[in-house]
Amino acid sequence: MTRDDSPYRRILRRLRAAIPMCAIALAAMCWSIAPAHADFRLCNNTSSRVGIALGYKDAEGWVTEGWWNVSSRSCETLLRGTLIARYYYIYALDYDRGGEWSGQAFMCSRDKEFTIRGTENCLARGFDRTGFFEVDTGEQRSWTVQLTEAGQQNPNGAPPGPLPGLPNAPHTTTPGGPGLPPATLPGTKQ
């Protein structure tokens, strides 16, 4: 047996030949793994078009934004990326039949497109004072709110959506089910 034909050398040659194939296989596996989507979404499960305003707390404090126009039977991503807060707030208008989804968490809004910092003195600052409903995400990475029509049964047993002209219509959130509107926003005084 020559030195080049030793079992040790044969194993080394096979390993060297296998390394490029392992690298290619590893690269293919990495490319095929899709990144996990972690977003705050809203699905409009009604037969109407709806307008959505969103309130949330970021690193700088409370902010409200609007309007997202969501077509009937469609979904919209309101915030992209991993959720950074536990509580989010929604106000929604049914454009076609009237009615709204609202609650007791008062934040600033306006009729036209807006981004408003802070929830205090809405009227004095020239904004509307609007009641949003709370969505408790339970510190999940992503969340979807489901808006439904009156009389529609939701898979998780949550209450139905708005009736024309009736305020404070119920809503659905997933995972978890319906949230109850708070009297004040966490960490704020009313």
Pairwise CA distance, residues 43 & 37, whole Å: 16
Residue 6, pLDDT score: 73
156 vs 69, higher pLDDT:
69
Residue 164, pLDDT score: 34
Using DSSP's 3-state secondary structure scheme, residue 108 falls into: strand
Residue where the block lists tokens 């949003």: 132
* Cα angle 147-64-79, degrees, rounded to a multiple of 5: 60
Q: Domains of the chain: which residue ranges?
A: 3-32, 40-174
The model's pLDDT over 39-54, given as tens digits with 9 standing for 90+, comes to 899 999 999 999 999 9
Q: Are 88 and 40 in contact (CB under 8 A)?
A: yes
pLDDT at 170 exceeding the cut of 50: no
pLDDT at 118 exceeding the cut of 50: yes
> Sorting pLDDT into bands at 50, 70 and 90, what band is 17?
low
Residue 129, pLDDT score: 97
The β-bridge relationship of strands 143-147 and 40-44 is: parallel
The model's pLDDT over 53-88, given as tens digits with 9 standing for 90+, comes to 999 999 999 999 999 999 999 999 999 988 888 999
Pairwise CA distance, residues 168 & 109, whole Å: 17
125 vs 38, higher pLDDT:
125
